[in-house]
Amino acid sequence: MLEQLVVALIVLIAAAYSAWHICPASVRLSLVKRLQKRCQNSAVGPFMPTIARAAAVPNGACAGCAASGRCPATRAAMARANEI
């Protein structure tokens, strides 16, 4: 029984990571803003700027792109992350 729970937890974490990785930076940033509003007075509050920077980092297809530093989508996502 315990093994099944551990396997289920691993699968759940992997699915959440995959969904996070596939989402565009704008969606991730909007989710982080909502989370920040909910958790600003909790123990997670100090970690929110770090989570916002992680949400703004281009990943997937953008990570290997040679134009990632000049891409308007990347610059906009990084600017939104700095606002948070």
> Could you read off the pLDDT of 11-23 as tens digits, one per residue?
999 999 888 878 8
Assign 75 a pLDDT band (cuts: 50, 70, 90). low
Q: Is 42 left (phi over 0), alpha (psi -120 to 50) or beta?
A: beta
Least confident of 4-8, 23-27, 34-38, 59-63: 59-63
pTM (predicted TM-score): 0.54
Cβ neighbours of residue 31 under 8 Å, at least 6 residues apart?
Answer: 23, 55
pLDDT value at residue 41: 82
Q: Where are the domains of the chain?
A: 48-84
**Token pair of 81, please?**
């992350």
